[in-house]
């Protein structure tokens, strides 16, 4: 799908060719085995013949990518960044990234920054995305800093877990939906404005080739037709993808509860603290004040 990301119109046209019907009528094991093969294929098809990086949070999406890359004996580095401020508990993504790296033997590089430095990065990001959107800035912060680390290692290619939440019902809105697969489809359709208008400009500005294996066409086509009960059950989201990860040996990391990047890195908390420190009631108003 990477060649369809140049415009929102192209993106929506490419998504509309997919369908959620008819659902697969195979049994759970057959669907799980088929999905496992498609996930492995999507990751392997994106692997370059040079050292590359992975945006790493220790969650199921990025850890699964890293595990496949390791099994393929590829040369890669995982990158994690987070807020580190006196009085605040260690960011959850940083905690899990370190645990996963130690457990599976991934090479991990970390950068933590404080509030003062965070504001400098917010200004850089706003110059790129030109939008005082609290969620977009909060998510962009750990990505931008990870790219900066990767550039120092002369890395040009980075992997992201983008798309997994939409395909496998990872958001609260899926839990509340009466038609989970339609919600997955609609989420993919609207992904350009919500996610790609943030991720693509940031990657381009940093001269990074961003690779998103969960947005592989064959994977999308199959996953949209997986019965909803295999994705979401008893409030456990992304169920079948977690089962894929468990089959690949991820164990407890396959079942880690999702934390959005801006919360897992604590950068949303940083924006909130900076807004109050600068006399703003609302985070968006604070970001507007920095948008020059």
Interhelix angle 267-277/134-152, nearest 10 degrees? 120
Name which of 167, 181, 150 is nearest 220 in CA terms: 167
pLDDT of residue 6: 73
HSE of 24 in the Cβ direction (CA atoms, 13 Å)?
21
CB of 206 within 8 A of CB of 152? no
Band of residue 235 on the pLDDT scale cut at 50, 70, 90: confident
pLDDT of residue 3: 55
What's the mean pLDDT in 286-292? 93
Q: Each residue of 150-176: pLDDT tens digit?
A: 999 999 999 999 999 999 999 999 999
**81 phi and psi angles, rounded to 5 deg:** -140, 155
CB of 75 within 8 A of CB of 51? yes
Give the count of beta carbons closer than 10 Å to the beta carbon of residue 255: 15
CB of 41 within 8 A of CB of 72? no
Report angle CA 160, 230, 23 to the nearest 5 degrees.
Answer: 100
What's the mean pLDDT in 35-39? 98
The Cα 231–Cα 252 span in angstroms is: 18
pLDDT of residue 292: 72
**Across 27-31, 54-58, 241-245, 259-263, least confident range:** 259-263
CB of 134 within 8 A of CB of 287? yes
Report angle CA 49, 2, 10 to the nearest 5 degrees.
Answer: 165
What's the mean pLDDT in 49-66? 98
Name which of 94, 102, 112, 49 is nearest 76 in CA terms: 49
pLDDT of residue 87: 87
For the chain, which domains are there?
Answer: 2-290 (3.40.50.620)
pTM of the model: 0.96
The Cα 64–Cα 173 span in angstroms is: 24
Whether residue 2 has pLDDT greater than 70? no
pLDDT of residue 68: 98
Q: Reading across the β-sheet that carries 76-83, which strands appear in turn? A: 108-113, 76-83, 52-55, 157-159, 209-211
pLDDT of residue 119: 97
- Give Cα separations from 128 to 17, 116, 140 (angstroms): 31, 20, 10
The Cα 251–Cα 254 span in angstroms is: 6
Residue 146, both tokens? 């990870």
What's the mean pLDDT in 126-142? 97
What's the mean pLDDT in 202-207? 97
Q: 3-class SS at 36?
A: helix
Higher local confidence (pLDDT), 1 or 186: 186
- Number of residues in the chain: 292
pLDDT of residue 1: 67
What's the mean pLDDT in 268-292? 96
Residue 81: strand pairing partners:
111
Tell me which residue has tokens 């994106």. 46
Mean per-residue pLDDT of the chain = 96
Whether residue 140 has pLDDT greater than 80? yes
Whether residue 4 has pLDDT greater than 80? no
Q: Each residue of 58-109: pLDDT tens digit?
A: 999 999 999 999 999 999 999 999 999 998 999 999 999 999 999 999 999 9
Residue 157: strand pairing partners:
209
pLDDT of residue 258: 79
């Amino acid at each position: 799908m990477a060649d369809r990301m140049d415009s929102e119109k192209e993106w929506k046209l490419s998504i509309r060719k997919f369908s959620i019907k008819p659902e697969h009528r195979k049994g759970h094991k057959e669907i799980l085995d088929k999905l496992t093969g498609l996930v492995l294929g999507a990751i392997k098809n994106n692997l370059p013949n040079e050292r590359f990086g992975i945006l790493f949070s220790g969650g199921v999406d990025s850890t699964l990518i890293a595990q496949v890359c390791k099994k393929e004996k590829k040369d890669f580095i995982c990158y994690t960044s987070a807020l580190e401020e006196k009085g605040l508990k260690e960011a959850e993504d940083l905690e899990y990234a370190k645990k996963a790296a130690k457990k599976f033997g991934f090479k991990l590089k970390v950068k933590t920054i404080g509030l003062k430095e965070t504001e400098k990065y917010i200004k850089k990001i706003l110059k790129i995305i030109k939008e005082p959107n609290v969620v977009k800035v909060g998510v962009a912060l750990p990505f931008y800093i990870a790219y900066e680390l990767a550039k120092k290692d002369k890395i040009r290619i980075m992997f992201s877990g983008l798309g997994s939440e939409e395909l496998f019902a990872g958001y609260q809105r899926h839990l509340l939906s009466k038609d989970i697969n339609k919600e997955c489809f609609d989420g993919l359709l609207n992904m350009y404005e919500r996610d790609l208008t943030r991720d693509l400009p940031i990657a381009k500005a940093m001269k990074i080739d961003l690779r998103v294996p969960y947005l592989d066409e064959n994977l999308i086509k199959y996953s949209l037709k997986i019965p909803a009960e295999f994705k979401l059950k008893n409030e456990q989201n992304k169920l079948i993808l977690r089962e894929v990860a468990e089959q690949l040996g991820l164990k407890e990391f396959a079942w880690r509860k999702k934390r959005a990047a801006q919360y897992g890195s604590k950068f949303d908390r940083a924006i909130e603290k900076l807004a109050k420190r600068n006399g703003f009631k609302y985070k968006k108003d604070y970001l507007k004040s920095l948008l020059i």
